[in-house]
Structure 1
Amino acid sequence: MKKENCKRCLMNTGMSDVKVFNDGTCSSCRQYFSEIKRVKPAYYDSLESLLASIRKNKSKKYDCIVGVSGGVDSSYTLVKAIELGLKPLAVHMDNGWNSELANSNIKNLCNKLDVDLYTHVIDWDEYRELMNCFFKADVVDVELLYDNAMIAVNYNLARKFKINHILAGTNHSTEGIPMPSEWNWFKFDKRNIKSIVKFYNGPKLKTMPTFGVINYILDTYLRKIKWIDFLDHIDYKKSIALEELVKNYNYKPYEYKHYESVFTRFYQGYILPNKFGIDKRIVHLSAEVLNGDLTRDEAVQILSKSPYSSEENLNLDKKYFLKKMKWKESDLTNYLSRKKRNHDEFKSEKKLWNNLVRIYSYRKK
């Protein structure tokens, strides 16, 4: 069946759960706009009540945690937290793939804001072998390893310092287009990680933290730790935020979203398109079109170009990836040629999560 393209954003019917209606708009962008009315209040009626709740925190040194990756969203969250009079602990997770630019951005920001930075470093040999297990499994979401560990680090530190609010750069403005379900995996799936690693005789998880459904329930409902999409509480415009970061904090921008990590850049710019036929820029650019940062024509023009600004930069990243992973060129070729496998071919917590969500929704009604 021929794919239908949305006339308002870049999504199309070749993606799961995307439907194009008679007026030419799609289910994804309709959902984007309908969710705006819900996400702005988020957990609180106003920004003032959120700030008041954060300031009641029991910890005297810090009243919130802000996870920082070096990207625009998380960097601006830290800036606004300070401007609004909060006392954040900046938290970063280093999995061995940080670009020099990301490290520089984080350092400049924390120094200028005079904010304490905690960096959790995962042993590189351990992390490389964990990644190799995921590559052997041929599953789509290799970055589940990083995303899950990043979540775990933030919650672990919230418990340690008795902090009840984690302010994240996740937001509806730049991330309100839902990712097609076959493009990534459930991020709280500790069981999936351990199942894949065990199946391929991977290393013990010594420095790699993990986070599962039970962890979420205990931290959210027993310990009352809240994960806040902080930028949904303010009038957030990414283009304006970037200008402010560049002007005031010597911030250096990246070419595309999440390119602060060398692996993410190579994964999204080369591995996903060549092995899985996925270009995540479609989702990211669609959000920028809907929030007014780009016109649709401008987004289409960007999408028509390679995810890499030059063949030279691609080759540099490929060479770096092969050396760091201890792969040969033939290993990469073989990996790209193999058929993909689904995450749920391994043990998973996703079904448990879906069942709990259904029960919660039923009881709420």
Structure 2
Amino acid sequence: MVKKTQVGLIFGGNSSEYEVSINSGHNIYNAIDQDKYDVHPIWMTNDGYLASEADSFKVLNNPKYTVETPHKVANLANLSELGNLPEIDVFFPIVHGNLGEDGSLQGLFRLLDKPFVGDDVLSAAVTMDKEFTKILAERVGVKVADWISIKRFEYDDLNNTKRDYAKVSEQLGGDLFVKPANQGSSVGVHHVTNAAEYEQALADAFRYDDKVLVEETIHGTEVETAVLGNDKPIVSGVGQIINAQGDFYSYANKYDDSSTTQLQIPAKLPAEIVEEVRSNVLKVYQVTECNGLARVDFTLRDSDQAIVLTEVNALPGFTNISMYPKLFEEAGISYTDLITKLIEAGLEYYDHKQTLLHKID
């Protein structure tokens, strides 16, 4: 009998995307190929405690399950306990938001010398930071929305012109988006068109990060593409967000059961636009040095059909309504096979790194 690969499925965390992570973990656990893999669920509670495997199984089956934690652990400091799990062959992190997809957790895996699914430290960090993503995308000729960044020390200065809606509007126009630089799932994102909204949006965005981006609004259709693999990645077809509520693709539109947002897969766009989107996706994926997976989002601008980068999500959602698995399902890769390919890509990347280290030795 062939020994099954032991997978440590990590989900939860003390970020604003905790519930999304729980739902993603639930879906992965139910879909994984049980003939190939034994799953060891690892639940990070919302107050920073690494729960037992028994409790982790319970929350996978009941996302509302809670556990009495013996102590609150700031910033998941007891993650070092993952090093006490020698039976794990590969970690599959599905911890969204800060600490989970910004390179911190990936750095721990590197220190533990364990394979893991998804992007490495550098790519996770630069794609989590929306400003660095923009800078790199521009370097390879991909259009981005014009923007300014505001650091917390600038925001704390009541006389700083970046706090002044009228001054900012002179540069970017009066129709703006305000967003934390390091968040996902549209958390803390606001569409603003006047000074009062701008003031409120800045206050809320700074609840989540020490750097906030203010961008010109790109009016158009949001399109998304998924990528799978390492040096020779597969780029999926293009999906389109049809938002019947008429506003941007907010957290509620993405995850609420009452959402009227629809995912149109494949997007009903001219073939040349689809191919340009896919070409830009590959440029962004490679310049940010992604590996394993990513979902890359663009806006197709109404005025001139220009393709403008929105963001790169290096750890996209895996809920049953998420774009990433649905795009690959359309491409002929089932949810179960997609999980298998992601695990294989993680193991392949680790083996390559080990080969390089042995050459150095």
Q: TM-score, normalised by structure 1?
A: 0.28
Q: 1 or 2, which has the higher helix percentage?
A: 1
Whose strand proportion is higher, 1 or 2? 2
| TM-score, length-scaled by structure 2 | 0.28
Q: Does 1 or 2 have the higher relative contact order (CA < 8 Å, sep 6+)?
A: 1
